[in-house]
């Protein structure tokens, strides 16, 4: 299209708007529209419903709101609300109001915001004198049906804009919203619906979700076209080995810190995305120690802390913001010129959403760097960037037919209508796209369940449902479909001291007396769980050698398409190796094909080069094993592999009567099988299990799964079948979980719990397809009688806790020098008269008191004067008593082990218990002694910001 023609098309788009709006555009300095505005405004101005999919910063908000404001200007003034702007986050509400305020003031259109924090006075004012445009959340829309004045106000609504619609489409909040919009239609009549999103993999489906399949004009401006992303594994330099000792980490992580610092320094305003809160805190603390001027932002911080750091970033006080998904959804933090993603983003949509935050001005390229941490990570990131550039975004994963949402919305309809025929409620519900195929019998079963739980009155003879005394209480307790979760306090049983907290799902899903886990840098064994007090009592494991932590974190699932792309890239590289190319040549070919450098490609290729035997591909599963370890190299993504793994575990357990341990990532299914089980047994199960039986077998395997029992309790709460305890959504009583399962097995509550687990964590259809293709010969099955390089290249979060990275000689030497150069406070606990500060290297091999000759010498932090005061005080408070006991433990170790104990105690975060553990390892090599110290320091650094 020529420039002149493009400008004409732009003017044509703006020409559809009211004169006042066009005048405001000129005042605002908008002469030509952006691509989404050019394509979408004509149809939206004509009153059609539409979905606008375009990169962040391309003017999507104005694309939706200019036609809406124009329409409001064209109509005579009305008393009620004319447009709702719905966002998934309160913080976005705040941003949207500020962004729309100028337009409202210029055009004389009243714009206000309403959410959970809106004051009673403001709510009353909005009911008495409704604004023309109300910015709100899905939950607050539900509450608007309950007041008589607000119900009158919403009768004038002509437009609904749903921002970040992709975020809602894949959740029960979105399913709830679709019914809420049909409920609204009962009061307001038909209205225009507009959805906005930066990334949607299935826009036609999301359009149906938005409009109830009434027709939706899709404007799709591909985000990948303005994307410039580099994937990089930093090269370790000599200065990184030096920095590693200071940062309490290894040279590899130190190189990551250095490169992030360089990127922040090279740009004006940088967002640094990580995948977990723990990484945000751990990596953030190292960057701050390195001198990088950044702030930290994640959902676990208080609202005020988040706003403070957002404002500091916006005003330039800090140069970078380390964040999780909390910053994905377009919260205004000013212009961003670069985005760093630390480790693979796992999904295309996540990469586009995050890197799309950079280059916020029109027609700018979104610039980003993905820093990868191991070969899986690198190939995954390269495949994701490649798919992003081709527009291969994952589908939204709509929750079709969620029965607890049906229960919630039946109560919501009664709050709006007091009573209505059950058939009418069913008709309203099934107009919403996720419930279009809801069987009438399932609807009736939900209504009967609500009646038994006293949420409503059911007059079966008259086919009528009515609001009951329990409806109001239930509805306001369940405005949101996000389940509430409690936090359990973790308490050291011996001392009574709090260790930290654990999320309810974590406790209920995994915790049993005897299980082990790591927290606060120490390993603990569960002694007792008190559900009434929401407390986990634990005992420290004094000698954790050989202990396997039972709990591992849940990863963001990698989709099948990404996993298969990784396998294809590896197979192509393996073909080059087999053709005689060296790693340098293959690395150059990878760097030519993908946006990366030769060093990064070379590092990622190491396990591919070392791999012996057939290589896994999208059309080949390679089964390998050694002893009781059997690994299926299967590149089908997380949920399909999880399903296959559960299926095989259940069948092997059934055959042998033994238990099977399972660990899954997107490229491997690792099984630890009972003695006597062979690779051949696993292959036979894959070749003979009927694919049609997979759904039934998987559901049976879930019967004893803690995740189903936990989900069941959460769903039961949304049905009003459980009373809430202390604000939790699941009222977990551990001895009652199995009874709850038995009691609810033939109810819609059980059906919904199974559906949720299958939808969110498993891929039954994918697993069935894999078995079908394998048995038909479309997928080859190869076996190897030994462990392969790729099979051992998994990234278990649990294993990292157990098999610490071996610190190389230079890191050991750096840490040794640092500790020996540190000061230590020596104090005699026999006469309590002598103390001295000196460098560790100058401490005698067996320290003794020059006054009384005792060797009971405590080695303390050089600034621990309060400990000396506590030791010398007769009338001690609790804190002084604890400090004294700790000092005597330290003195006992020094008395037994001399300077070696002083060195261990001088390390960072290593107290008497850890020092004893390090010394009792009886390491013959000095380097191994320091490696033990490094690992204890590393554990402390990883966790201190969470538990201090």
Residue 152: CATH number of its domain: 3.40.50.300
- Looking at the domain assignment, is residue 424 inside a domain? yes
- Looking at the domain assignment, is residue 600 inside a domain? no
- Looking at the domain assignment, is residue 825 inside a domain? yes
Q: Do 79 and 215 share a structural domain? A: yes
Global confidence as pTM: 0.77
Q: Do 454 and 534 share a structural domain? A: no
The more confident residue out of 655 and 492 is 655
pLDDT digits (tens, 9 = 90+) for 401-419: 999 999 999 999 999 999 9
Of 222, 256, 274, which one is at a domain's C-terminal end?
Answer: 222
Q: How high is the pLDDT of residue 635? A: 96
Domain count for the chain: 6
Reduce the DSSP state of residue 89 to 3 states and report it.
Answer: coil
- Looking at the domain assignment, is residue 586 inside a domain? no
Q: Do 261 and 214 share a structural domain? A: no
Distance CA 854, CA 850 (A): 8
Burial call 388-426: b when 16+ CB within 10 Å, e when fewer: bbeebbbebebbebbbbbbbbbbbbbbbbbeebebeebb
CATH at 450:
1.10.10
Q: How high is the pLDDT of residue 688? A: 95
Please list, in sequence order, all residues whose beta carbon lies within 8 angstroms of the beta carbon of residue 96, skipping any fewer than 6 positions away: 61, 85, 87, 113, 135, 163
pLDDT digits (tens, 9 = 90+) for 285-333: 889 889 999 988 876 565 677 788 888 988 899 999 988 876 766 666 7
Q: Do 895 and 790 share a structural domain? A: no
- Looking at the domain assignment, is residue 258 inside a domain? yes
The more confident residue out of 919 and 938 is 919
In this predicted structure, which of 80-94, 136-150, 213-227, 479-493 has the lowest mean pLDDT?
479-493
The more confident residue out of 913 and 801 is 913
In this predicted structure, which of 12-26, 772-786, 806-820 has the lowest mean pLDDT?
806-820
Distance CA 861, CA 224 (A): 54
- Looking at the domain assignment, is residue 39 inside a domain? yes
> Would you say 196 and 52 are in contact if contact means Cβ atoms under 8 Å apart?
yes
Distance CA 350, CA 406 (A): 29
Answer yes or no: is pLDDT of 488 > 60.
yes
Task: For residues 575-600, give the mean pLDDT.
Answer: 95
CA 590 from centre of chain = 30
Of 367, 389, 411, which one is at a domain's C-terminal end?
Answer: 389
Which structural domain range is residue 874 located in?
804-947
Q: Do 250 and 141 share a structural domain? A: no
Q: How high is the pLDDT of residue 223? A: 60
CA 586 from centre of chain = 34
Q: How high is the pLDDT of residue 91? A: 62
Distance CA 379, CA 604 (A): 7
- Looking at the domain assignment, is residue 304 inside a domain? yes
Alpha carbon separation from 374 to 318, 470, 594, 663 (Å, rounded) = 30, 54, 17, 18
Residue by residue, DSSP assigns 543-568 as --TTPPPS--PPPPPPPHHHHHHHHH
Q: Do 14 and 54 share a structural domain? A: yes
Q: Where are the beta strands (DSSP E) in 627-723?
A: 629-633, 661-665, 668-672
Answer yes or no: is pLDDT of 684 > 90.
yes
Answer yes or no: is pLDDT of 13 > 90.
no
Q: Do 769 and 915 share a structural domain? A: no
pLDDT digits (tens, 9 = 90+) for 433-443: 999 999 999 99
Q: Do 823 and 742 share a structural domain? A: no
Q: Do 249 and 124 share a structural domain? A: no
Of 798, 825, 857, which one is at a domain's C-terminal end?
Answer: 798
Angle between helices 19-28 and 60-74 (to 10 degrees): 140
- Looking at the domain assignment, is residue 384 inside a domain? yes
Q: Do 468 and 527 share a structural domain? A: no
**What is the rounded average pLDDT for all residues in the chain?**
84
Task: For residues 536-550, give the mean pLDDT.
Answer: 59
Alpha carbon separation from 934 to 289, 595, 803, 889, 928 (Å, rounded) = 17, 35, 13, 21, 10
Q: Do 530 and 506 share a structural domain? A: yes
Q: Do 853 and 921 share a structural domain? A: yes
């Amino acid at each position: 299209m020529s420039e002149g023609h493009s400008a004409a098309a732009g003017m044509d788009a703006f020409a559809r708007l009211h004169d006042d709006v066009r005048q405001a555009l000129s005042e605002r300095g908008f002469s030509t529209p952006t691509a989404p505005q050019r394509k979408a405004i004509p149809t939206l101005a004509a009153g059609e419903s539409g979905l606008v999919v375009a990169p962040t910063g391309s003017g999507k908000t104005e694309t939706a709101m200019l036609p809406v404001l124009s329409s409001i200007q064209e109509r005579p003034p009305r008393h009620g609300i004319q447009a709702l702007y719905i966002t998934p986050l309160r913080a976005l509400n705040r941003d949207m109001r500020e962004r729309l305020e100028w337009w409202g003031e210029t055009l004389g259109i009243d714009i206000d915001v309403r959410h959970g924090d809106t004051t009673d006075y403001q709510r009353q004012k909005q009911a008495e004198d409704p604004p023309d445009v109300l910015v709100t959340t899905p939950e607050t829309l539900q509450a608007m049906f309950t007041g008589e004045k607000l119900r009158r106000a919403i009768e004038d609504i002509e437009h609904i804009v749903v921002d970040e619609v992709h975020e809602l489409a894949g959740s029960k909040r979105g399913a709830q919203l679709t019914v809420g919009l049909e409920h609204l239609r009962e009061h307001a009549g038909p209205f225009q619906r507009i959805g906005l999103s930066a990334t949607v993999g299935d826009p036609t489906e999301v359009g149906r979700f938005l409009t109830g399949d009434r027709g939706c004009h899709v404007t799709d401006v591909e985000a990948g076209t303005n994307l410039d992303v580099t994937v990089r594994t930093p090269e370790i330099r000599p200065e990184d080995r030096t920095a590693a000792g200071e940062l309490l980490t290894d040279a590899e992580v130190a190189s990551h810190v250095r490169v992030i610092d360089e990127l922040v320094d090279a740009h004006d305003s940088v967002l640094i995305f990580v995948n977990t809160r723990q990484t945000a805190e751990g990596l953030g603390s190292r960057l701050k120690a390195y001198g990088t001027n950044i702030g930290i932002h994640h959902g676990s911080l208080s609202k005020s802390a988040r706003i403070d750091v957002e404002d500091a970033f916006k005003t330039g006080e800090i140069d970078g913001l380390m964040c999780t998904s909390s910053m994905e959804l377009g919260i205004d933090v000013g212009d961003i010129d670069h985005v760093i993603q630390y480790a693979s983003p796992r999904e295309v949509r996540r990469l586009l959403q995050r890197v799309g935050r950079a280059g916020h001005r029109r027609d700018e390229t979104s610039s980003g760097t993905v820093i990868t941490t191991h070969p899986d990570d690198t190939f995954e990131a390269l495949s994701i960037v490649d798919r992003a550039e081709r527009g291969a975004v994952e589908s939204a994963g709509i929750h079709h037919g969620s029965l607890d949402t049906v229960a919630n919305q039946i109560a919501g309809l009664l709050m709006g209508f007091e009573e209505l025929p059950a058939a009418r409620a069913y008709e309203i519900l099934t107009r919403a796209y996720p419930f279009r195929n809801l069987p009438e019998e399932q609807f009736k079963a939900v209504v009967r369940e609500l009646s038994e739980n006293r949420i409503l009155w059911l007059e079966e003879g008259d086919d009528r449902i009515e609001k009951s005394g329990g409806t109001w209480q239930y509805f306001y307790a369940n405005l949101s479909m996000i389940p509430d979760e409690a936090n359990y306090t973790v308490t050291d049983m011996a001392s009574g001291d709090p260790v930290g907290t654990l999320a309810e799902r974590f406790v209920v899903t995994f915790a049993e007396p005897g299980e082990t886990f790591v927290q606060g840098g120490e390993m603990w064994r569960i002694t007792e769980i008190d559900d009434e007090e929401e407390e986990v009592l634990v005992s420290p494991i004094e000698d954790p050698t050989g202990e396997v932590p039972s709990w591992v974190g849940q990863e963001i699932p990698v989709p099948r398409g990404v996993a298969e792309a990784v396998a294809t890239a590896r197979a192509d590289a393996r073909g080059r190796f087999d053709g005689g190319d060296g790693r340098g040549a293959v690395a150059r070919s990878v760097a030519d094909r993908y946006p990366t450098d030769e060093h990064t490609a070379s590092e990622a290729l190491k396990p591919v080069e070392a791999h012996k035997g057939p290589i896994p591909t999208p059309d080949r599963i390679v089964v390998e094993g050694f002893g009781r370890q059997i690994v299926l190299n299967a590149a089908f993504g997380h949920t399909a592999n999880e399903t296959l793994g559960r299926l095989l575990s259940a069948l092997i357990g059934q055959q042998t009567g033994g238990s099977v341990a399972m660990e899954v990532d997107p490229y491997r299914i690792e099984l630890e099988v009972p003695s006597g089980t062979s690779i051949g047994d696993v292959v036979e199960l894959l070749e003979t299990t009927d694919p049609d039986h997979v759904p039934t077998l998987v559901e049976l395997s879930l019967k004893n799964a803690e995740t189903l029992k936990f989900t069941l309790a959460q769903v039961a709460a949304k049905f009003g079948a459980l009373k809430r305890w202390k604000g939790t959504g699941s009222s977990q009583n551990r001895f009652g979980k199995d009874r709850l399962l038995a009691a609810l097995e033939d109810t819609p509550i059980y059906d919904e719990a199974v559906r949720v687990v299958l939808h969110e964590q498993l891929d039954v259809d994918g697993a069935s397809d894999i078995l079908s293709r394998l048995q038909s010969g479309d997928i080859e099955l190869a076996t190897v009688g030994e462990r392969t390089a790729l099979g051992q290249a998994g990234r278990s979060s649990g294993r990292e806790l157990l098999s610490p990275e071996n610190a190389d000689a230079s890191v050991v030497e750096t840490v040794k020098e640092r500790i020996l150069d540190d000061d230590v406070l020596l104090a005699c606990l026999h006469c309590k008269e002598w103390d001295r500060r000196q460098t560790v290297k100058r401490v005698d091999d067996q320290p003794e008191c020059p006054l009384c000759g005792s060797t009971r010498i405590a080695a303390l932090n050089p600034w621990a004067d309060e400990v000396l005061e506590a030791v010398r005080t007769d009338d001690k408070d609790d804190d002084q008593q604890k400090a004294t006991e700790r000092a005597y433990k330290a003195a006992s170790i020094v008395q037994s082990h001399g300077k070696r104990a002083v060195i261990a105690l001088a390390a960072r975060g290593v107290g008497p218990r850890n020092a004893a553990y390090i010394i009792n390892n009886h390491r013959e090599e000095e380097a191994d002694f320091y490696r033990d110290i490094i690992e204890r320091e590393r554990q402390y650094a990883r966790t201190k910001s969470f538990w201090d």
